[in-house]
Amino acid sequence: MGFITEEEVTTRPSRMKRKKGYGNKLGFSIFQFILKNIGLYGAYGILFLVVPYYVIFRPSVYRSSKPYLQRRFPEDSFPQRYSRLFKYIFTFGQALIDQLYFGFVGESKIKLDFKREAEILDLLNKRPVIFLMSHVGFWEVSMAGSARFHKKLNVMVNQAFDKNKRKSFYDLREKKFNLINVSDDYGGMIEATNALLRGEAVGVAGDRAEGWRWKTASFLGSPAKFPIVAQQLALATGATIIAIFTSKQGKYGIHIEWKDVSTEVFTDEWLSKDEKIAKMLKLYSEALEEHVQNHPYIWFNFFDFWKM
């Protein structure tokens, strides 16, 4: 069970300081070439050369991964943690390759399995929906796959961030959703609110508090900051929040699970606005923790999530 504090802060995303990521334009171009000419397993094979370099010769990789691995596997010795680091970074590389591959082939080869798909469709037909995403596995693929619901989808992103990494996904395939730029003076909130009031769907990340109004919830045994953008939008528009979590199934399968983290909260008329936000956040953080416990190597968190 988690807990919530009332601490909050507001910062416009346009003033956010972005952290340097791993990978570069040349690297992604190489993997694109290999995927097109050799195939998926050929690209996986390159990881056996690339990952040891990052794990052994880039100390920042261990430092940035340590806060998560240390909390997820608290009993590990140093050698065990380094062994897990290799698997963690290798899985991260596979996920990037899978998303590039999906950008080329779409659902012609990659099977997307939405859990209780009919229930999602029913919710979308009744009211606007907020897809609360996490940096777990293949969130971008799950958003593209949401086109099957025939509901216009708007995804809140900083469009200047990781553009090279997402080039294949956004540019080489038919667009399946509209992008809302959160770098404007209002963090994209006005555009997102208007979209929901029109009955459309909105996707937003739930595990990156940097630059947003936030609250603190317990996660993997320690307090961590989570953004409350989705919860604020839901209160303003009456939208349902669906937390989305993905995992890999075999070579060509992606399983998409979800949890409604708002309906039971809205039915409690005695809760104040802040209490509703706190309870929705608690339901989300607990669902994320459960998914991370079941799939420990696919939550891609490369900074100290607990000391933001």
Angle at 105 between CA 100 and CA 108, to 5 degrees: 140
pLDDT above 90 for 3: no
Question: CA 139 → CA 44, 48, 91, 99, distances in Å?
Answer: 20, 24, 15, 9
What's the pLDDT at 167? 52
Angle at 202 between CA 249 and CA 230, to 5 degrees: 95
C-alpha torsion sign, points 205, 210, 214, 215:
positive
Q: How confident is the model at residue 23 (pLDDT cuts 50, 70, 90)?
A: low
What's the pLDDT at 172? 40
In 3D space, the residue among 92, 26, 86, 77 whose CA is nearest the CA of residue 58 turns out to be 86
pLDDT single digits (tens) 40-64: 889 999 999 999 999 999 999 999 9
pLDDT single digits (tens) 75-117: 999 999 999 999 999 999 999 888 888 877 777 788 888 899 8
